[in-house]
């Protein structure tokens, strides 16, 4: 292959737990995409590389980034459909659709995530209790595969590959464009209501009860020590009923650049949580918030991640049924007492959908924990991993970079086998491979 079309790069997973040197390519024409794909034996797709796990690269694969494919190919306002290229970022997407009072509500928490990355990870947003994952908004996909060539995927055409590609972590080929069914959105302003809670049980009740009438319901809970465990706040975001004009978002380049020394430790977390709680108590229980703050809460707050330092963090995102939630939390707390892990974030939301393949989706409660990346925490997390089977928990492959093949096998069970089998049937050579797919032996 022409050396001019590839570049050596060192890539890191977003949580900084893994890095390696890779060969990177950024085709900007259809022909070049075909050429770079034909010229390498192993490939993997990469978007903005904002996945917490190393999903978009591997030492042995050429990473294909189609960020230059960022065009709107078709828009039908009446039918409320749009076809966009997969390199388009969410903020670019919204800058167009919101002008027409349309959008998709399944938006993950950072604006520079690409459409391709979002589809391949089957992402969800804060309103996943009501709107589920992005799968629900996808009408069709145009895929390029090194040996199969160009494929139209939808429920009507190549249904099995369509199904494998959504949440297929880039293993079925390059998603080149996606057609979405859009939803109406009258205003791009939100009102946020909050309420203090004293326990995790209270939080759970809130997200289950309230997500029926409010689309955006989630919690912030403390996990800095056992006494405060579960105390926190529950939030509801409502879209304003009064229509508002949309003037476009200015994209400000912000950097994720970890500090040399980590700033998160038991003490700092305790202080920050204390201050955050106090601030929340003192501020009004209802306030107006702009769209970006609600939908992309980490945009402008990148230092939360930078504070973890060069060693980074580990996020664990789990799906658990309503019925098993309390007993799991009890066991979690008892292990917490024993291991005293350092947790920076603990949050709950409701999720709706149907679990299939490797997709992080089900009619369950979604729990998120962020841990400082250290030996003690890793040991604690391994103890929690061993509970997945008992409580039918599904961990997120996109978020938790440390998950072992065994853990995934146990929790995804038949669905993992089925994903693997169907993928191998489609692509016997298993051309598209990432660090994670290698580790999980997919």
Partner 1 sequence: MKYLIVGASSGLGKELAKKFAEENNDLVIVSRDERDLNAIKSDLETKHKVKIDVLPLDFSSINEINDKLLSKNNLLSNLAGVMFPIGMMFDDDNSNLNTESISRLINANYVSIAYTIQKIKKILIKKENTSIIGFGSVSGFLGRDINVTYAGAKRGLESFFESMAFDDDLKKANIQFYTLGYLATNLSFGKELILPKASVKKLSNIVFKNRKVKFKKTYYPMYWMVVNLILKIIPFSILRKLKFK
| Residue 114, contacted partner among ligand FAD, partner 1, none, CB below 5-8 A by kind | ligand FAD
Residue of 19, 20, 39, 68 interacting with partner 1 (CB under 8 A):
68
The stretch among 25-33, 107-115, 159-167, 301-309 that binds partner 1 (CB under 8 A) is 25-33
Question: d(Cα 80, Cα 104) in Å, to the nearest integer?
Answer: 10
152 contacts partner 1 (rule: CB under 8 A): no
Least distance to partner 1, CB of residue 71, Å = 4
Element (H, E) at 409: helix 405-426
Question: d(Cα 241, Cα 128) in Å, to the nearest integer?
Answer: 21
Element (H, E) at 43: strand 43-46
Strand order across the 43-46 sheet:
7-12, 19-25, 62-65, 43-46
| Residue 45, contacted partner among partner 1, ligand FAD, none, CB below 5-8 A by kind | ligand FAD
CB 272 within 8 A of CB 228: no
Question: d(Cα 145, Cα 140) in Å, to the nearest integer?
Answer: 16
Q: Write phi, then psi, for 81 (nearest 5 degrees).
A: -130, 150
| Residue 26, contacted partner among partner 1, ligand FAD, none, CB below 5-8 A by kind | partner 1
Considering only CA atoms, which of 395, 397, 340 is closest in space to residue 371?
Answer: 340
Considering only CA atoms, which of 228, 201, 204 is closest in space to residue 218?
Answer: 204
The binding site for ligand FAD (CB under 6 A) comprises 14, 44-51, 55-56, 66, 86, 108-110, 113-114, 116-118, 120-121, 123-125, 169-170, 174-175, 298, 398, 434
Which CB atom, from 71 or from 155, has the smaller least distance to partner 1? 71
Site for partner 1 in 76-115 (CB under 8 A): 85, 96
Q: 373: which 2 tokens?
A: 């990346």
Cα dihedral 146→151→154→160 (10° resolution) = -50
38 contacts partner 1 (rule: CB under 8 A): no
Residue of 10, 21, 59, 74 interacting with partner 1 (CB under 8 A):
74
Residue of 12, 32, 80, 430 interacting with partner 1 (CB under 8 A):
32
Least distance to partner 1, CB of residue 2, Å = 5
Least distance to partner 1, CB of residue 188, Å = 18
* Binding stretches for partner 1 (CB under 8 A): 2-7, 25-32, 68-69, 71-75, 85, 96
């Amino acid at each position: 292959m022409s050396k001019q079309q590839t570049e050596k790069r060192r890539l890191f997973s977003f949580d900084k737990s893994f890095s390696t040197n890779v060969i990177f390519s950024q085709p900007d024409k259809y022909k070049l995409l075909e050429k770079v794909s034909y010229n390498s034996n192993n490939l993997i797709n990469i978007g903005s590389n904002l996945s917490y796990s190393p999903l978009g690269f591997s030492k042995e694969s050429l990473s294909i980034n189609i960020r230059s494919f960022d065009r709107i190919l078709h828009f039908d306002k009446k039918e409320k459909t749009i076809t966009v290229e997969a390199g388009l970022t969410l903020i670019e997407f919204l800058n167009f659709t919101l002008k027409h009072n349309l959008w998709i509500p399944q938006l993950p928490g950072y604006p520079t995530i690409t459409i391709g990355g979002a589809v391949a990870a089957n992402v969800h947003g804060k309103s996943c209790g009501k709107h589920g994952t992005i799968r629900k908004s996808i009408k069709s996909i145009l895929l390029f595969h090194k040996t199969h060539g160009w494929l139209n995927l939808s429920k009507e055409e190549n249904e099995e590959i369509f199904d494998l590609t959504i949440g297929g972590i880039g293993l079925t080929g390059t998603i080149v464009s996606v057609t979405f069914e859009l939803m109406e959105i009258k205003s791009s302003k939100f009102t946020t209501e909050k309420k203090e809670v004293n326990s995790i049980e209270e939080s759970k009740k809130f997200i289950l009860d309230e997500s029926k009438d409010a689309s955006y319901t989630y919690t912030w809970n403390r996990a800095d020590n056992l006494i405060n465990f579960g105390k926190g706040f529950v939030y509801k975001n409502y879209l304003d009923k009064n229509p508002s004009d949309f003037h476009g978002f200015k994209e400000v380049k912000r950097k994720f650049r970890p500090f040399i020394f980590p700033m998160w430790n038991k003490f700092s977390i305790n202080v920050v949580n204390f201050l955050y709680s106090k601030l929340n108590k003192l501020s009004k229980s209802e306030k107006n918030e702009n769209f970006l703050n609600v939908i992309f809460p980490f945009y402008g707050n990148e230092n939360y991640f930078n504070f973890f330092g060069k060693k980074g963090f580990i996020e664990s995102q789990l799906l658990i049924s309503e019925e098993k939630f309390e007993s799991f939390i009890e066991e979690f707390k008892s292990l917490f007492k024993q291991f005293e892990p350092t947790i920076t974030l603990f949050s709950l939301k409701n999720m709706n959908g149907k679990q299939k393949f490797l997709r992080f989706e089900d009619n369950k409660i979604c729990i998120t924990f962020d841990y400082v990346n250290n030996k003690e925490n890793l040991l604690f997390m391994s103890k929690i991993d061993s509970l997945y089977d008992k409580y039918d928990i599904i961990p997120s492959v996109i978020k938790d970079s440390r998950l072992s093949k065994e853990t995934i096998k146990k929790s995804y069970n038949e669905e993992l086998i089925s994903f693997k089998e169907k993928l191998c049937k489609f692509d016997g050579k298993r051309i598209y491979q990432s660090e994670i797919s290698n580790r999980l032996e997919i």
